[in-house]
Amino acid sequence: MNVVREPYGYTYKETSRLKEVYGGPTGQVFVECMRIRPETGESRTCILFSHPIGGGSFLPLVTALARAGRHVVYCNTRYRGNDTALILEKCVLDLGACVADLKRRFGYEKVVLGGWSGGGSLSLFYQDQAEHPTITETPAGDPVDLVGAQLQPADGVMLLAAHISRSVTLTEWMDPSILDEDKPFERAVDLNIYDPRCPHQPPYSEAFVARFREAQIARNRRITARVKATLAELKAAGDPDMERAFVVHGTMCDVRWTDPTQDPSDRRPRTCYLGDPRIANEGPVGLARFTTLRSWLSQWSYDESRAHGEKNAARISCPVLTVNNTADLACTPSHARRLFEAVASRDKSYIDVQGADHYYIERPDLLPTAVAAVGAWLDERGF
């Protein structure tokens, strides 16, 4: 089936003292979208994909769903391609404006959120706040009114190769051998799994993995404490809106990459979705490599970020589908199971796509299996 791609955008007003995106007028937010639909045929339902940094309108699954007869929209938040200063609460506002626009512009009666990868936790965060709005400020204390935004709840949420959250994922990938952020290349050998001198080699003992995980959380919390202290100093100096940017080294270090017995699946050992994890650990495109004080608290802090898939899932009531790709190099099976188990909805389903990778690039032959599973779930619920 041929598909039509229709790029469009929408603008909405936003009052904010702070600006985290490059260019554009103050007091307004522009969000760009792509509608992908069959060449013929109408639909009352739209599958709405989004991700904190967008860029997924050409994902194989997105296109395949449209080829299967579904109407799909991919919404790029204002932070398209750059999460350096990203505020997740504002991603929720962008997504909410998109939901309202879909119904007004195209007349869709139902909207199902397609939470692929990092879009999974964003979708759950959105649905949580749409059903039970509580947030009026960011973790840094800046105004952001999700209560007054009148977010319209989605009719369903699909968690497709999704992880729990940006903050949890980052923490599980942080290099715990970095004990001093000012000396990031001085590593504790006994925690450095990429150092051949490390006394702990795979398969790792339960005691080592527990210590490793505790050290990762401790590092995240040290950074959070430093961020809070710096913000407090700026505010005390009379600069409440002043910001600081910083670098976080070592963010692709997980025992899963070096020991396939950890969170076992069909994935290949000693690799990750960015290639060689040892190289990615130091490379420029790792999670949170460049960030700001406010962005750290909103999207990367283990304790402060509100976009937490398990916590958000426990407060929603709409139908939820969880799809796990068993050879995924980014989102491992434990995340899918934890999300599924956390969902409070009475109507929830779980599916494994055996052998599928994160993007369906290595195994395109499995894409029809995923599309059929998604389609059956949608049809059973009248979507």
Note the pTM of the prediction, 2 decimals.
0.97
Q: Which of these, 358, 351, 353, lies nearest to 337 by C-alpha position? A: 351
* pLDDT recorded at residue 281: 97
* pLDDT recorded at residue 22: 83
* pLDDT recorded at residue 245: 97
- CA angle, residues 107, 108, 114, in degrees to nearest 5: 145
pLDDT under 70 in the chain at which residues? none
What is the sign, positive or negative, of the torsion defined by CA atoms of 70, 68, 352, 118? negative
CB 313 within 8 A of CB 123: no
- CA angle, residues 352, 354, 357, in degrees to nearest 5: 100
* pLDDT recorded at residue 1: 80
194: tokens are 């990429």
Integer Cα distance of 17 and 180 in angstroms: 33
DSSP secondary structure letter of residue 366: G
* pLDDT recorded at residue 166: 97
Alpha carbon of residue 285 to chain centroid: 15
Q: Which of these, 104, 85, 101, 128, lies nearest to 31 by C-alpha position? A: 101
pLDDT digits (tens, 9 = 90+) for 102-144: 999 999 999 999 999 999 999 999 999 999 999 999 999 999 9
The CA-atom distances, in angstroms, between 286 and each of 53, 218, 243 are 14, 19, 22
Structural domain boundaries in the chain: 3-165+305-380, 168-300
Alpha carbon of residue 117 to chain centroid: 6
* pLDDT recorded at residue 363: 95
Integer Cα distance of 58 and 300 in angstroms: 27
The fold of 3-165+305-380 is: Rossmann fold (3.40.50)
* pLDDT recorded at residue 24: 76
